[in-house]
Amino acid sequence: MILDNNRRNPSQILPSEITPESVYLHRRQFLKAAGVASAGLLLPVATHSQAATLATLNHQKTKYGLDEKLTPYEDVTTYNNYYEFGTDKSEPARDAGFFKAAPWSIKIEGEVKQAKTISIEQLMKLAPLEERIYRMRCVEGWSMVIPWVGLPLKALIDVAEPTGNAKFVEFVSIADQKTMPGTRLPILDWPYTEGLRMDEAMHPLTLLAVGLYGKVLPNQNGAPVRLVVPWKYGFKGAKAITTIRFVEQMPLTTWVKTGPREYGFYANVNPLVDHPRWTQSSEKRIGNGLFAGRIKTKMFNGYDEVAPLYRGMDLKKYF
Ligand SMILES: Nc1nc2c(c(=O)[nH]1)N[C@H]1C(S)=C(S)[C@@H](COP(=O)(O)O)O[C@H]1N2
Ligand SMILES: [Mo]
- Collapsing DSSP to helix, strand or coil, 210 comes out as strand
- What pLDDT, in 10s, does the model give residues 222-246? 999 999 999 999 999 999 999 999 9
- pLDDT for residue 290: 84
- What pLDDT, in 10s, does the model give residues 75-120? 999 999 999 999 999 999 999 999 999 999 999 999 999 999 999 9
Q: What does DSSP assign to residue 26?
A: H
- pLDDT for residue 48: 56
Q: How far is CA 64 from CA 148, 227, 228, 256, in A?
A: 11, 17, 14, 31
Q: What's the CA gap between 103 and 306, in Å, rounded?
A: 35
| pLDDT at residue 2 is higher than 70 | no
Which has more pLDDT, 38 or 91?
91
Interval 121-138 mean pLDDT: 98
| pLDDT at residue 289 is higher than 60 | yes
Which has more pLDDT, 47 or 135?
135
Q: What's the CA gap between 191 and 60, in Å, rounded?
A: 33
| pLDDT at residue 7 is higher than 60 | no
Q: Is the CB of 239 under 6 A from ligand 1?
A: yes
- What pLDDT, in 10s, does the model give residues 149-190? 999 999 999 999 999 999 999 999 999 999 999 999 999 999
Q: Is the CB of 160 under 6 A from ligand 1?
A: no
Q: Is the CB of 238 under 6 A from ligand 1?
A: yes
Give, using CA atoms, the residue closest to atom 19 of ligand 1.
Answer: 80
Query: How many C-alpha atoms does 165 have within 13 Å on its Cβ side?
Result: 10
| pLDDT at residue 271 is higher than 60 | yes
Peptide linkage before 72 cis (omega within 30 of 0): no
9 pLDDT band, cuts 50/70/90, is very low
Q: Is the CB of 192 under 6 A from ligand 1?
A: yes
Q: Is the CB of 237 under 6 A from ligand 1?
A: yes
- What string of H, E and C letters represents the secondary structure of 138-185? CCCCEEEEEEEEEEEHHHHHHHHCECCCCCEEEEEECCCCCCCHHHHC
| pLDDT at residue 36 is higher than 80 | no
- pLDDT for residue 51: 82
Predicted model pTM: 0.86
- Return phi, psi of residue 120, to 5°: -60, -35
- Collapsing DSSP to helix, strand or coil, 15 comes out as helix
| pLDDT at residue 21 is higher than 50 | no
Give, using CA atoms, the residue closest to atom 8 of ligand 1.
Answer: 82
Q: What's the CA gap between 303 and 307, in Å, rounded?
A: 8
The number of the ligand 1 atom at minimal distance from the alpha carbon of 79 is 19
Give, using CA atoms, the residue closest to atom 7 of ligand 1.
Answer: 82
Parallel/antiparallel/unpaired status of strands 207-212 and 226-228: antiparallel
- pLDDT for residue 49: 65
Average pLDDT value over all residues in the chain: 89
What spacing in Å lies between the alpha carbon of 141 and ligand 2's midpoint?
8
- Ligand showing the shortest atom-to-Cα distance for residue 148: 1
Interval 269-295 mean pLDDT: 95
- What pLDDT, in 10s, does the model give residues 249-259? 999 999 999 99
Which has more pLDDT, 21 or 297?
297
- pLDDT for residue 52: 84
- pLDDT for residue 39: 44
Which has more pLDDT, 189 or 9?
189
The number of the ligand 1 atom at minimal distance from the alpha carbon of 80 is 19
> How far, in whole angstroms, is CA 282 from its chain's centroid?
22
Q: What are the chain's domains?
A: 22-309 (3.90.420.10)
Residues 6 or more apart whose Cβ sits within 8 Å of residue 89: 78, 79, 80, 81
Interval 196-210 mean pLDDT: 98
Q: Which residue, 99, 8, 6, 96, is CA-closest to 50? A: 8
What spacing in Å lies between the alpha carbon of 102 and ligand 1's midpoint?
20
